[in-house]
Structure 1
Amino acid sequence: MANVIRVQFNPIFREFNRTRCRYRAAKGSAGSGKSVDIAQDFVVKLMDDKYAGANLLVVRKIDESNRDSTYAEVKAAINRVCGDMASALWTVRQSPLEMVCNKTGNKIIFRGMKDDSQREKIKSVTFERGKLCWIWLEEATEFDEDDVDILDDRLRGELLNPNLYYQMTFSFNPVDANHWIKAKYFDIESPDIFTHHSTYRDNRFIDEAYYRRMELRKIQDPEGYKVYGEGEWGVTGGRFFTSWSKTIHVCKPFAIPTGWLRFRSMDWGSYRPYAVGWYAVDYDSMIWKYRELYGYGGKPNVGTGENARQVAMKIVEAEKEDREISYGVLDSACWNASGTTGPTVAEEINNVLSEYKKTTFAKSEKGRENGAEQLKLRLDGYKGRDGKQVPGIVFFETCFHNIRTIPVLTHDKRQPEKVDTTGEDHCFDETAYALTSRPWTPKKPEPEGKRDAYSRKRDNGLDWMAM
């Protein structure tokens, strides 16, 4: 390069940054500096004439998460690396999110893979100059294996610059020892795979207060510390909803039949995420969760800070094309006075819904244990005449945060019959309110000669088991 750029890196990532393996996977604790390192590494490489013709695709499962996470991280890296020359060396755009190095012409774009539409758009990603060489999957455990296969297929073809190479980068906290990433990249040996482990102790830029906080967590939450302090794979046991199966409980979206009853449920949050869910009830009393609205602040268990009216307007927008919503249930605590004058959270939300002639919320039933039991019953379902499990609830695959958070909830350490409330339990709470509004008892298998509910749906062309 014409100018010498001096950048500080954590030594722990030296070999990670140098490897040219097709897959490099960085698992580590919170505060280990892995995301900062990866962003900085890409910025330096994309500015180097040696890598002319290289382009980077940065992916989060939810596209909206990029703005406050990966986009902000890469922008901060550009400012660290380039200082006062940042605006001269890089063109940074917000709509769409992208960055172009003015020196080399290399480009960074940001995308999501929440649904089939976004997956299809990624398949057609092209660049005016050069090729897509590098892909970074931040919070990689959010992705399905099929998502990664689609991305992997994009890295192909002859590279005219001999210095270029194809590479996928994964970064994540290893929350689940049963995750497919562990089996595919960490449990095997391959010359194409480079795995890396780091903790907050390896980060020489970390402040002392954060270090002390993590050391305290070691004492107060040893299981959580294993993942977020030591960067080790999460405990495989202790899951609360042990019968959850993606094969059985998740389906591709379909058009909800006209005659099915629809309702919605909500758990409020601002500093923590809020969760809204929409449900359809078929003629066999099976519940289909067909939409979610989640106050995801860019990181797990972090809210958006939106007020009640802003969230209510999002509910109104989401229901623009819906048929009638029969009723809604909202956490009963939202009717409690907050100590300030003016309407409560529930009143504020209902005022907006009434203003736009939408169905308002009523108070939910109290009792998380009852809600947990209802969800267990519906996940368990019953045995059909063919001996296969028929669930009482199915989630559309677009209910991403439900699918991400509910299966990994664990038992409370002091009261094992309860869900651990320190986890990301907002989708569960909202689902619990919904299910307690419609108590359910699993049916017995249909007598010989009659078809069970699943058989009728299958024969009617509703292949809700297809993935």
Structure 2
Amino acid sequence: MIMEMTIKRKIRWNPIFKPVNECRKRYRVLKGSAGSGKSVNIAQDYIKKLSDPRYEGANLLVVRKVEETNRDSTFAELEAAINRMFGDYAPKVWRITRNPLQMECLITGNRIIFRGMSDARQREKVKSITFKRGKLTWIWVEEATELAEQDIDILDDRLRGELPNPNLYYQITLTFNPVSATHWIKGKYFDVVHPDIFTHHSTYLDNRFIDEAYHRRMMLRKERDPEGYRVYGLGEWGELGGLILTNYEVCDFDTSFPCFDRMTYGQDFGFNHANAILTVGFKDDEIFICDEIYVYEKDTSEVIQLAEQKGLSKKIIMYCDSAEPDRIKMWRQAGYRAYPVKKEPGSVKAQIDWLKQHKIYIHPRCVNTIKEIQQWKWKKDERTNTYVDEPVEFLDDAMAALRYSIEGMRRGPSVSILK
């Protein structure tokens, strides 16, 4: 009775997702623009079903590439869905714990757990998942483009065996904003027709709950970066042309300091846009992006605290954006070897040229760096339909940090920093 009264009164649905929520095919793949509402819808869909006695025995595994990122994304979306549906009754319907992250419906006994797939240890944890009641029936992979195809195959193998309830079915749901048209997800799910595959496309224009300020932001993006608008505004696959860096590979590798000839940090300051810090190693004329800090709306003292928690060494030089001398001063006062990078006419192009001449390896945990490098493009002259030697200044914070990180190698330590 609690569930029926509250769900009908509080929940809000976008009509475009009705076929998504009714779908029982094994693969439910949702591509869409930022702000389309797909993640909100999936969270509501799962909470509604897991709270329904007809689906007793169902359990949900929620996956991001990096396990910790679930806390502020998928976990927060599911918790918000619970509160919208049940209001003051929420504690009587769902038990929510934050350490570890998990949720349990007190009506059905169905559970939600959260995992990552960023290394071999986490993949093994996924393989050993069991539930006291019911089986693992549903998997939700958020930001699915962050995962490798083999990650999805490991998850897919978990959905097997006889189900205890005739109303249950196995299903893996992928939600993501599209990136390059060469991404494996496109070939595996969108370029084929198969009875077990359901694909869906949505944009912010389909979201009846989006605010006007977001619409204006997207119109500004459309004017300044038409190609970027196709991906982030219209949810289309990114074009192959115009990519700045293609000489990179995402793979596991040992990130410990002794493995490299030299290590540096690169930092691009931010608040409303991301503050990005990359840990970069150099070995045999190749570049290794080992780790990242990538946060929004954190002041300098908070970012320094994150760096200390992450164990950033104070012996390694940190190359920073020279436009923020006050922030650099705070980092130096905290004991870090932070220096501003020289900015000269043509320096950005020179940094890019240097990056193009060296193979770049990116550790899978650097999900934001991977996302940026997949869409970092040259600006396009719409009149001549040609690209110009100037990067699009959007979603490029990790790329700026990468450019700064190489200065000690590109120019030599004696001239690469302002003392």
| Fold similarity call, TM over 0.5 | yes
2:273 is equivalent to residue 272 of structure 1: yes
2:397 is equivalent to residue 417 of structure 1: no
Conserved 8 A contact 2:33-2:202: yes
Conserved 8 A contact 2:376-2:392: yes
Which residue of the partner structure matches residue 337 of structure 2? 360
CA-based RMSD of the aligned residues comes to 2.5
Conserved 8 A contact 2:61-2:136: yes
Which residue of the partner structure matches residue 83 of structure 1? 87
Q: Provide the rounded CA distance (Å) in 2 between the counterparts of 1:209 and 1:319.
A: 39
Q: Residue 263 of structure 1: CA displacement?
A: 3.0
Q: CA-to-partner distance for each residue in 1:10-69, whole Å, 9 max, x for gaps?
A: 222222111111000111223222112111111110011111010011112222222222
326, 330, 333: which one aligns with 1:348: 330
Report the residue type matching 1:431 in the other structure. L
2:398 is equivalent to residue 394 of structure 1: no
SS in 2 for 1:131: coil
SS in 2 for 1:236: coil
Q: Residue 88 of structure 1: CA displacement?
A: 0.9
Which residue of the partner structure matches residue 339 of structure 1? none
Write the mapping of 1:26-105 to structure 2, written as runs, cut at 5 A: 26-105=30-109
Write the mapping of 1:74-223 to structure 2, written as runs, cut at 5 A: 74-211=78-215, 213-215=217-219, 217-223=221-227
Q: Provide the rounded CA distance (Å) in 2 between the counterparts of 1:369 and 1:174.
A: 27
TM-score normalized with structure 1 length: 0.79
**Unaligned residue ranges in structure 2 (runs of 5+):** 382-386, 413-419
Displaced runs of 4 or more, over 6 A: none
Conserved 8 A contact 1:25-1:185: yes
Which residue of the partner structure matches residue 260 of structure 1? 261
Q: Provide the rounded CA distance (Å) in 1 between the counterparts of 2:389 and 2:126.
A: 43
Q: Residues 312, 123 of structure 1: CA spacing in aligned structure 2 closer, same or farther, 3 A cutoff?
A: same
**Unaligned residue ranges in structure 1 (runs of 5+):** 297-302, 336-343, 354-358, 379-390, 442-467
Q: Residue 211 of structure 1: CA displacement?
A: 4.1
Q: Provide the rounded CA distance (Å) in 2 between the counterparts of 1:90 and 1:259.
A: 49
Report the residue type matching 1:347 in the other structure. K
SS in 2 for 1:310: helix
366, 369, 375: which one aligns with 1:408: 375
SS in 2 for 1:9: coil
- Structure 1 window deviating more from structure 2 (405-414 vs 104-113): it is 405-414
Larger Cα-atom Rg: 1
Q: Provide the rounded CA distance (Å) in 2 between the counterparts of 1:308 and 1:236.
A: 37
Q: Provide the rounded CA distance (Å) in 2 between the counterparts of 1:207 and 1:165.
A: 36
2:317 is equivalent to residue 327 of structure 1: yes
SS in 1 for 2:67: coil
Conserved 8 A contact 2:33-2:232: yes
Q: Provide the rounded CA distance (Å) in 2 between the counterparts of 1:403 and 1:295.
A: 12
Q: Provide the rounded CA distance (Å) in 2 between the counterparts of 1:327 and 1:229.
A: 38
370, 373, 381: which one aligns with 2:353: 373
SS in 2 for 1:430: helix
Q: How many residues align?
A: 400
Q: Provide the rounded CA distance (Å) in 1 between the counterparts of 2:397 and 2:195.
A: 41
Q: Provide the rounded CA distance (Å) in 2 between the counterparts of 1:168 and 1:397.
A: 21
Q: Residue 3 of structure 1: CA displacement?
A: 5.4
Which residue of the partner structure matches residue 300 of structure 1? none
Q: Residue 290 of structure 1: CA displacement?
A: 5.3
SS in 1 for 2:173: strand
Q: Residue 124 of structure 1: CA displacement?
A: 1.7
Conserved 8 A contact 1:58-1:136: yes
Identity of aligned residues (%): 46
Q: Residue 202 of structure 1: CA displacement?
A: 2.5
Q: Residues 399, 440 of structure 1: CA spacing in aligned structure 2 closer, same or farther, 3 A cutoff?
A: farther
Q: CA-to-partner distance for each residue in 1:53-100, whole Å, 9 max, x for gaps?
A: 100111122222222221111111112222221111111111111111
Q: Residues 160, 294 of structure 1: CA spacing in aligned structure 2 closer, same or farther, 3 A cutoff?
A: same
Which residue of the partner structure matches residue 463 of structure 1? none
- Structure 1 window deviating more from structure 2 (118-127 vs 16-25): it is 118-127
Q: Provide the rounded CA distance (Å) in 1 between the counterparts of 2:142 and 2:363.
A: 24
- Structure 1 window deviating more from structure 2 (159-168 vs 222-231): it is 222-231
Conserved 8 A contact 1:294-1:401: no
Report the residue type matching 1:271 in the other structure. N
Q: Residues 431, 198 of structure 1: CA spacing in aligned structure 2 closer, same or farther, 3 A cutoff?
A: closer
Conserved 8 A contact 2:255-2:290: no
Which residue of the partner structure matches residue 457 of structure 1? none
Conserved 8 A contact 1:56-1:109: yes
Conserved 8 A contact 2:31-2:176: yes
Q: CA-to-partner distance for each residue in 1:266-316, whole Å, 9 max, x for gaps?
A: 22222222222333444x4x24435323223xxxxxx1x222233223334
- Structure 1 window deviating more from structure 2 (254-263 vs 168-177): it is 254-263
Q: Residues 195, 375 of structure 1: CA spacing in aligned structure 2 closer, same or farther, 3 A cutoff?
A: same
